[in-house]
């Protein structure tokens, strides 16, 4: 995320200056200590442009590190003739993502240390208690088995975290086109608010780009929906495109997709359409959703470590209870033996 934020910020500067993207990529390739992935992306863009492809298509083919969302945002901005706005949006998106991840990782330091201390300590304690016997003879699994059990517990923790990470990535990717999955993710605490705000931020900004470029309302609605990264907004935009193309006002299209477009947004756009102030209204909504997304990401960064910490505490508590039961059994054996 940090590298992509820097990359799109550089591309935005060149696009804003009016310099061609070929010259921009040539210049960026000359920078020292350029990352391998970043180099592949610039070279892929140059290769695609030389073959006559669009910038968005060239970017999408440049590297496996480029997501479909990035390609769609750049393609929409390119079609609207405001490539710098597309690059600027992606730069801010990845900077925001990088800040959130760094805060989460910083907050996870203590619970990660805790689980790596608690698992060995409680496992070895359980084994030690089980190995004591009133007659002084060793019993129980032994410390070799204890170390194996300790490794198994750590592996279980790693597997659970890895599975959660893979599941989240799969759901996020599928939500770009699936209405059901997108609606499910939007209903989750913390995550849902951030996803809806970012989707509407992209929709508002890309819609404004198309309108300023003089595109038809139906084309602007479709393009903004594709670039939103939301299955709900994408589906609502496609439905709205047909409504607008049939001669109905934009407000009718927005009201018809109430699950995709918030009522406040639809009402604001309705009034702006009547007053001929759509470009200004979209700019204000874009700013509003940008601030909402930033606040939601800050909440995610604050609460994710806390939730992870409580999960770790429950796991550690179970291990401590297990060690306590082993200690109880040891004491009971000594009592029964009359020691």
pLDDT at residue 262, as a whole number: 92
CB 100 within 8 A of CB 108: no
What is the distance, to the nearest Å, from the Cα of residue 117 to the centroid of all Cα atoms in its chain? 30
Distance CA 20, CA 26 (A): 10
Q: Is 214 helix (H, G, I), strand (E, B) or coil?
A: coil
Distance CA 163, CA 204 (A): 34
Number of H helices, E strands in the chain: 14, 0
Q: For residue 12, how many C-alpha atoms fall within 13 Å in the half-sphere facing its CB?
A: 14
Instruction: From 130, 156, 127, select the one nearest 143 (Cα to Cα).
Output: 127
CA trace torsion 112, 116, 119, 124 (10° rounding): -160
pLDDT at residue 319, as a whole number: 74
Distance CA 103, CA 99 (A): 6
CB 293 within 8 A of CB 96: yes
E strand spans, the chain? none
Residues in the chain: 339
Distance CA 75, CA 86 (A): 8
Helix (H) / strand (E) containing 46: helix 36-50
pLDDT at residue 131, as a whole number: 65
Per-residue pLDDT of the chain (339 residues; tens, 9 = 90+): 888 888 899 999 988 888 888 888 888 889 888 888 888 888 888 888 888 888 888 888 877 778 877 888 888 888 888 888 889 888 988 888 888 888 888 887 877 787 777 777 777 777 766 666 555 545 555 566 667 777 777 788 788 888 988 998 898 888 888 999 999 998 888 888 888 998 998 899 888 888 887 888 888 888 888 888 899 999 999 999 999 999 899 999 999 988 899 999 999 999 998 998 888 898 899 889 988 988 888 888 888 888 877 877 787 777 778 777 777 777 777 777 654
How far CA 34 is from CA of 8, 42, 61, 339, in Å, comes to 14, 11, 20, 71
Instruction: From 90, 91, 84, select the one nearest 14 (Cα to Cα).
Output: 84
Instruction: From 259, 300, 67, 41, select the one nearest 169 (Cα to Cα).
Output: 67
- In order, the DSSP letters of 113-149 are HHHHHHHHHHHHHHHHHHH--TTS---SSHHHHHHHH
CA trace torsion 62, 67, 70, 71 (10° rounding): 50
């Amino acid at each position: 995320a940090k590298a992509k934020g820097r990359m799109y910020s550089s591309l935005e500067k060149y696009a804003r200056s009016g310099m061609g993207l070929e010259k921009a990529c040539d210049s960026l390739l000359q920078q020292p200590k350029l990352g391998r992935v970043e180099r592949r992306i610039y070279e892929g863009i140059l290769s695609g442009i030389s073959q006559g492809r669009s910038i968005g298509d060239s970017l999408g083919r440049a590297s496996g590190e480029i997501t479909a969302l990035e390609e769609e945002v750049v393609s929409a901005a390119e079609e609207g003739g405001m490539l710098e706005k597309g690059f600027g949006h992606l730069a801010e998106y990845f900077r925001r993502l990088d800040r959130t991840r760094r805060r989460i990782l910083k907050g996870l330091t203590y619970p990660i240390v805790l689980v790596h201390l608690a698992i060995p300590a409680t496992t070895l304690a359980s084994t030690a208690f089980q190995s004591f016997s009133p007659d002084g003879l060793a019993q129980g699994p032994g410390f070799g088995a204890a170390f194996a059990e300790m490794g198994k517990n750590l592996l279980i923790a790693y597997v659970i975290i890895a599975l959660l990470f893979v599941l989240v990535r799969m759901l996020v990717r599928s939500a770009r086109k699936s209405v059901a999955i997108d609606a499910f993710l939007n209903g989750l605490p913390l995550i849902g608010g951030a996803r809806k705000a970012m989707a509407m931020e992209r929709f508002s900004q890309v819609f404004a780009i198309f309108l300023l470029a003089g595109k038809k309302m139906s084309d602007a609605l479709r393009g903004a929906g594709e670039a939103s990264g939301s299955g709900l907004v994408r589906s609502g935009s496609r439905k709205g495109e047909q409504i607008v193309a049939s001669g109905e006002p934009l407000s009718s299209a927005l009201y018809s997709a109430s699950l995709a477009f918030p009522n406040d947004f639809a009402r604001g756009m309705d009034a702006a359409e009547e007053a001929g102030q759509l470009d200004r209204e979209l700019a204000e909504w874009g700013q509003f959703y940008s601030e909402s997304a930033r606040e939601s990401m800050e909440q995610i960064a604050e609460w994710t470590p806390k939730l992870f910490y409580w999960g770790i505490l429950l796991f550690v508590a179970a291990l401590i209870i297990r060690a306590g039961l082993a200690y109880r059994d040891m004491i009971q054996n000594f009592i029964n033996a009359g020691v």
